[in-house]
Structure 1
């Protein structure tokens, strides 16, 4: 592009030529014409211009030539210079202890600025390295003409740079809070801004919240715009994982002989864990909880990081099924001469359906009679509808069926005679012990008799 015309220095009282500052020059080496001026950099100043009108082209390292710049008019030699015009004042900064001032309205050609015996050319200049204080300047052109003093220039004291924030208590993420925080102290007086985050505030301490896992360090910028060195590194850990709720597996209910149940839990976290209620500790993905009385349970698990799961599904442990009492032996019917078997009445049987053993006798109701019992000794248990078996009943003795005697054997028969109107008969084969012969209700003992 065409060079951009900047500051033009006109001739002074003692210098007949001026100069011009050109900017917007191409990268690399270039040649400015007229004048075959070679150089590099984005700006340059063309000096020693006699009164007249100029414009410039620039040819880059590739040999390409721009359009001409705007016209540059160099005036005829000026009279005694005016007082330097105070322009932009740059105050000391956090990192630079001195200030500067831009002076313009300087005479064309060479000049000397005092105090400081600062020599130069151009209509403006910047005086650097000014310590805190008040200054004013005169300019003397090359003809020896000196201007009146400029306006006063106040250079402030350098603003202080704050110290690095001091890292205090670090709060790490917890099982229920995904972010951490850090306390910073040693912050500067007045308003400040902490970065990263553009966090504004005041006071010597602050806490930075909502920090995701990672490494942080912080600078603080005070009200003067001065920024400290970074703080020490702050490590925010990853949020510890919360375990999933234990998975309810096989449930073992109380039995007739075991009053408690158990449950198998799976899906437990890696490492050591604690299951509650019960403060049951262990490790591994599964476990069985024993000795559970009747009731409803659910369980949480706390992992090695101290994070606790939601509760498991409900686990119902039933009441232990009741074991029936031993059957009560009631009336016993013994075998008779004509019935070879006996029977027994049992009472105190459980509610609902039951099974009596031996015999696998099924039924319901509080009493029953067991028939067809051969001679022998018996006792009975009863199993209720829950499958629980009682203790054995008292012994039940069924006697041997009493023997039926054989028919009397007819022996000698004595017939009536002329003088005796009745006869008699001898019977033998009579049973041992007492007996009664009918008809006649004849009582006796012995194996034979005569009727």
Structure 2
């Protein structure tokens, strides 16, 4: 019979005390626990199998496995692969050696194989397996005893304390401590016995009488046993990372000291409170001794959950944890991004409005922005934790969103909001800068490149100026540097380039001018003494003038200082010499005094000079301090009124002051008055006048006054002004007797003088004709033809060579640029009687009375009056209408208290009368005399002769033939008050005008278209008439008739 031996392999762990023993019966691996550095390894080799037979022979038994034991050093956290020798399997042939067992460096060999018997010979027993400590027992050979066959027994395995026992014949080796017994050999036909584990050899098989094929016994398996002491693991604390309910994981950090929590990989057993569960495991890695982490899972309930660590194991070592073993996990719900609001439309270069986040779950980790095409989002620095955000400067449309994270949960993006950015208008382009001038003291800046119809803002000044179109001009700019921005209604540009508006240039005189010759657009400062060139060559024109302290300035005679604005004297001296001018064109307020000097010529003790003040204040006595106290007078409209010399002169009012008491009564001498005060300027209101009264008016300015402008502004005054010349010597006793004929006259037609003086007066008198330029310091008479208040303005002022006629003006000076043709006639005798008249053909005058052009004779000369006659008025000045015709006749009259020879002569003429024939018709002598050829002398008795003379411009006499006049083939006849007009041959009459001597049109007939015209019952008294005829060929012819 055959018997099979069953070899059992097993693995066991045995804990004794604090020592651990592991027994391995199969190949495997051993994980070295963290902190485990040594162990004791025991290895048993496997038993060899016994020989088998298929013939009638006996076989030998297998040998027992060896035993090795050693304590070795191992590396924690490594894996040791080990081999457990397999017991050899018996066959019907020779046996197989047992396998070796190996653990790291410790190894034990298996027992040898028993052989089969051959050729009737018995098989041989297997050799003993060897070990470093003990060897196994040997197998027995097969035997023949008393004719009987017996197979050999197997050797026993090596033990822990001794070698294995050898087989004894058919009996296997008896087991020793810690080892397996060898299998018995077969004594009857059958298989050998199996060896025991660990390491017992298999017995030999036996075949008798040809019965069966019998195998040898199986060798017992080898074995490995390791023994070691596990470390004790412990912790000092545990913490948990927050978890997100969506994934339910939390990193648990375990801490301990390095000795009790060495580097290695552990299995942690823990309990979870919510959701509740026990016995969960996780792998914990300790990379640095003393600190390990593992992941707790299943934390899906929002709130908090406790993780309680119960066991920590590494490899086969394990420690129970019961203290400081709880970590609390905060579990957050999923992140929600929420909604961002606040996107608006803004202009490029501005920031957004405040963008606000709402409806989020979690904390803002950052804000992001995106620009077109809005595919990429860029983080915005330093925005963590902000639930509102204001952008920086934006130049393009931008989207914004917040990134939100709740605890450890994945981030969530909010909705985005859009800030629409509109482009800015282009900055205004600076164009022409119009610089300030004195007349216009502000600048203008022209701007272009503007959006159509926007609004400009200026800096500095913050002036807002709407405009239309794409250009604009900003006016009224004081000196400064300006920039401009423009708004198109929604956005405002960046600032323009600088526009520099400079100030008025300051030109300072020390020893020379700092900025060249002064101009009207410069403010001048006298910082050093200065004297102008004089004689009209030293004129200065400036915007304003300042005289510094201690500086002396002298404006010489005939020079003009022209200022647009004020004169300011800060403690210096500025003197205007006789006939110089201070001319100002605006109503600026002057500061500080000037000295204005005015010289009156040929003054005698008893002469009165007509003064007015160009400065304020000015006392009468300071004009002529050496005049007797009772020789200062004003005029009240009807009479002279004595005036207190210590009173200040009224601006715009005239005064008369007698010559200094130290002057001669017969020999004239110049007298210079000094006016010291603030120079008058701007609008001046003088006396209020009553109709019919005569008023003494004074030039209020330190410059000449234009008489025609003065008269034009004061229409309630008669047009003729009267100027005292003090030409005639005073008659002493009884009292002082003054000649009222010493008044020169002026109106818009021109002026007439009073010189030469009568016989007996002192030579050198004032023989000038008033020019219409009233000198500074001069007063004059004017008659009121209605009520009003006399007014002066700067528009009446004039500078240059116009301020020297305190009766020293050049006779050729003209008061007006209007068309004018003038002739002055003098009537004189050898004893010095003198009277002058003026006839002027001037634009604006008519042949009727015009108070601006016709001046009635003052008739103040006791000896002689000479005048022209019109409309029963006696005129010293008569204005007549234009156009001038050489057929005009002017009636002349005179009054004389002296019988004798007188002479009529041309004084001078202007315009068209300067170089043409001038005739005087003497109706008494029946003579027409050419005054251009020679003066006309005649005898007269005393009396008034209003119609003796006619001023005429041709020498034709009024020869009357049948009361018909013939001229240029034009025939005009008068008969029985019927005027008959016959045109020249081959012409027709077109238009006829008839004028009286005054130039008034009294008849007009148009569209005649005939060569003859008869006029019946013309409404005109007996008089001379002028007939003007226009033919159908536009030829103009004139006739004079007596009607």
TM-score w.r.t. the length of structure 1 is: 0.46
TM norm structure 2: 0.23
Between structure 1 and structure 2, the one with the greater Rg is: 2
